[in-house]
Structure 1
Amino acid sequence: MDAGSANPLGGNPFWDFSLAVYGRPGVPACCLALQDGRGIDVNLLLFAAWAGMDCATALSAEALERVDSAVAAWRREVVQPLRAVRRRVKAEDEALYRRMKAVELEAERIQQDRLFAAGGLVPRPGGGPALAAANMALLVPGGDPALAALVQKLGG
């Protein structure tokens, strides 16, 4: 995810939130630690954070499962294979790596558009880091130092 990218379609406040949050120092490292170490989908993690921060919504495990099921096939069949190819070529061809990174980012934007549509949430006042933390904790049973660090970065 690149904080300098724009949503060419517009109209997805979740994507805008994700770009802003992912652009904060230390956030990518926390997210990638949870992705690589715990198998957490970063887009779903960011959706949980957005629901709490910007939509003042406490998610249930069932709600997260529902929105996750709306994107699971896309993640498995498109995003993850693109990520694997991008990582594979990183040390061998910088130009191809950059193109693969852009394609992977576009696939993640599509995934986030689908999460946004499936979630049916709209921004409203009253949310904050505590609600975001509770939502994200549903995805990381038992907690994780990377999640704790991410929560701190959301509050600041």
Structure 2
Amino acid sequence: MSLWDWARTTYAADGVADACLELQAAAGQNVPLLLWAAWCAAEGRNPDEDALEAAGDTARAWQETAIAPLRAVRQALKSRAPDLDDEAREAVRAQVKAVELEAERHLLAALEALAPASSGPARPALAAMVAAARVWSPITPRAGLVQLADRLPA
């Protein structure tokens, strides 16, 4: 299954979206990178240190160039503003959200291209997500990652 399809299915599972958003908001993690790591584990792919570093670099480039600026615009449009029609503001916000999702889809495609071929059976997602989280940030939000791992579909 492609990473995009897996991520969409996984994100829709009970509690996964909330766990991802908590890791993003409270711990500053990159959700596509974490989902890539969990997908690699589920697919029996085992990225080495170089692949993890490349994935982190790719995620950071997309985050800084596209995703973070789009997210900032979307969040700014969440608040009502004087002299702006709420319906028009919400319509633009929805368009920005769609573009932000498209940027994340492209990031997932770039990450999928960096994944090694499957080399064995599926393995637990937690260790893979911890490794990805460490590439992203010096502080590993272990409790949040455990919560996400517990909510991932089997």
TM-score bracket, shorter-length normalisation: 0.7 to 0.9
Distance across 2 between alignment mates of 1:114 and 1:97 = 26
Number of residues of Structure 1 aligned to a counterpart in Structure 2: 141
Which residue number corresponds to residue 58 of structure 1? Answer: 46
TM superposition outliers: structure 1 runs of 4+ over 6 Å = none
Please list every run of 5 or more consecutive structure 1 residues that lacks an aligned counterpart in the other structure: 1-11
Please list every run of 5 or more consecutive structure 2 residues that lacks an aligned counterpart in the other structure: 81-88
1:30 matches 2:54: no
Distance across 2 between alignment mates of 1:60 and 1:134 = 13
Distance across 1 between alignment mates of 2:109 and 2:38 = 16
For the pair shown, the structure with the greater C-alpha radius of gyration is 2
Quote the sequence identity (%): 34
Distance across 1 between alignment mates of 2:67 and 2:51 = 22
CA contact (8 A) 1:58 1:134 kept: no
Alpha-carbon distance change, 143 to 71 in structure 1, aligned in 2, over 3 angstroms: closer
Question: How do 1:75-154 and structure 2 match up within 5 A?
Answer: 75-92=63-80, 93-121=89-117, 126-128=121-123, 130=124, 132-138=125-131, 139=133, 142-154=140-152
The structure, 1 or 2, with the larger RCO (C-alpha pairs under 8 Å, 6+ apart) is 2
TM-score, normalised with respect to structure 1 = 0.80
CA-based RMSD of the aligned residues comes to 2.1
Give 1:142 deviation, angstroms.
Answer: 4.7
